[in-house]
Structure formats: structure tokens, C-alpha cells
Structure 1
């Protein structure tokens, strides 16, 4: 069982330690951050009023991850971004699904949005499977590319609407 708490300045160093390679930072943050991640970047990130930032807490009280909801220009849609289970020993245990379900609950119930979307790199098959398990579907009309150390990473877009989530 996980819970969310507000991500604040006390969490900055933990997040910096979790995303300690350029590849990990791009996988986690997309084009938002530059390597290496710094306190200054995180202060600016935290001050963006369109972002709802959370630290993920396990039942024992330890912070094990990070998650974000971003309010896009479309007032009916929110985007799930920067989801990370930073504690590597907690990966592969279904916690990702718990995080996504909680983000969807916040999006559809608390924020009263109609649609939720996210972007994920196409090689991240475990994340894609996690998103599909909670009801996300691939939007084939929306893809993005990033270059990381001379390699091109393709991101796909996935969506879910309130009706499908509730059924």
C-alpha cells in the first residue's frame, strides 16, 4: 500500500540521487531537465503552478518514489508525468500500478478531469504493460523523439478517459 505526500525541498537530494545518470534523467524527466539534475532546477520545477508533485510513501513510511500530474492547456485533460520508483528494491512489485491508480483517482475524482494522458518511451515495456493494465490505450497519432547520447528514443502517447476508467 502506498500513499502520496507533497513533494518539497526536503525531497530534492533524494530525487537527485535516484536520477544520477543522463539516461535515467531523460527517462524520468524527458526534456524538462538537463543533466546533472540540480537543486536550482528542482526549485523551478516545484514552483510551476501547473504541476501537482508527489513523493510516494510505502506503508513503512519511507519515500520510495515520485509522481506528477501536469495541468495542460486543455482544461479537461491532465497529464501523468515523471513517475519513478526510485528505490530499485521496490520495482516489479505492482507499486507502479498503485501509483497510476492513485494518480487517476486524483485526476478524475479530485480534479474532475475527463481525460488523462502520458508519454512513455517505446522500449520501456514494463511501464507500458503497467499503463495498459489500468486501462490506458496507445494513441497512434502522437509520438515524440529525443536524442540521448547519440541514440534516438521514441516516445508514445497513451490515454484513458473517465468513462473507461470507471467501468
Structure 2
């Protein structure tokens, strides 16, 4: 089991330690951050009141194992899931990511009253894509973007779920 709590300044160093290489930072944050990640960047990020950023806490041991964010979309009834990371390597592959997505969907649909949730994920991140599909997300084939990272082109695909299709 997990719970989400607000991301605070006390969490900065932990997140920085998890994102210790450029590729992982780009996978996590897209173009929002530059490597190396710093407390100053995270302070600017935290000061953006439009972002709902969370630390992911494993229960019952209360260990902080990850990070996640909700961010408003240009469309009024839509919100985006962003910057999802299970940073504690020992907690990966145990279903924590699925629980995070389910909690973010509950917040989006039940607390915030949104009708649609979107996210972007790199097409090579098959584990994340499977996690999102298991939660009910579908691929939007017409919505892609690309970034060049150290000479390699990364393609991000868009996925979404409507409240009416939420399980």
C-alpha cells in the first residue's frame, strides 16, 4: 500500500539522489529540469502553485519511495499526470507504480472533478505503458513528440482515460 503526501523542501535531496544521470532526469522530467538537478530547480518547481506534486510513501513502514505530479491541462476538464517515479529501486516491480496511478486517478476524478486524465510516456518505456494500460489508459496515436537526448531521438506518446471509462 502507498499514500501520497505533499512534496516538501525536505524531500529535495532524496529526489536529487534518485535522478543521478541525465537520461533518468529527462525520462522523469522531460524538458522541465536540466542536469544535474539542483535544489534551486526544485524550489522553482515547488513554487509553481499550478502543480500538485507528491511524495509517494510506502505503508505501513512510512518510507518515501517515489514522486508524482498532477498538472492542469489547457483543457478545463482535463489534468495531466507527470513526473511519476518509484525512486527506491527495491520498491520497483512490486506494484507501487500501479498504486500511484490509481491514487492520482482518484484525486483527479473524485477530488478535483476532472473528466479526463492524460499523460506522456516515452515509447520505449514498456513497463510504464503496461502499467498505464492496466489502469485503463488508451494510446492517442495522433499525439506524439520527440526529444534528442545525447544524439538519440526519444518519442513520447500520449495516453488518456476518461472518467466514464475509469474502473
| Partner deviation per Cα, 1:55-91 (whole Å, 9 max, x = no partner) | 0000110100000000122110000000000001111
SS state at 2:166 partner: helix
- The residue aligned with 2:82 is 81
Normalised by the length of structure 1, the TM-score is 0.98
Shift in Å, 1:36: 0.5
Within a 5 Å distance, the mapping from 1:108-119 to structure 2 comes to 108-119=109-120
- The residue aligned with 2:71 is 70
Shift in Å, 1:96: 0.7
Distance 1:107 1:49 in 2: 16
- For the 8 Å contact 1:7–1:54, the answer to whether it is kept is yes
Distance 2:81 2:9 in 1: 21
- For the 8 Å contact 1:77–1:113, the answer to whether it is kept is yes
- The residue aligned with 2:49 is 49
Shift in Å, 1:49: 1.4
For the pair 1:145 / 2:142, whether they are aligned, the reply is no
Question: Alpha carbon RMSD of aligned pairs, Å?
Answer: 0.6
- For the 8 Å contact 1:50–1:72, the answer to whether it is kept is no
Distance 1:153 1:8 in 2: 30
- The residue aligned with 1:162 is 163
For the pair 1:15 / 2:15, whether they are aligned, the reply is yes
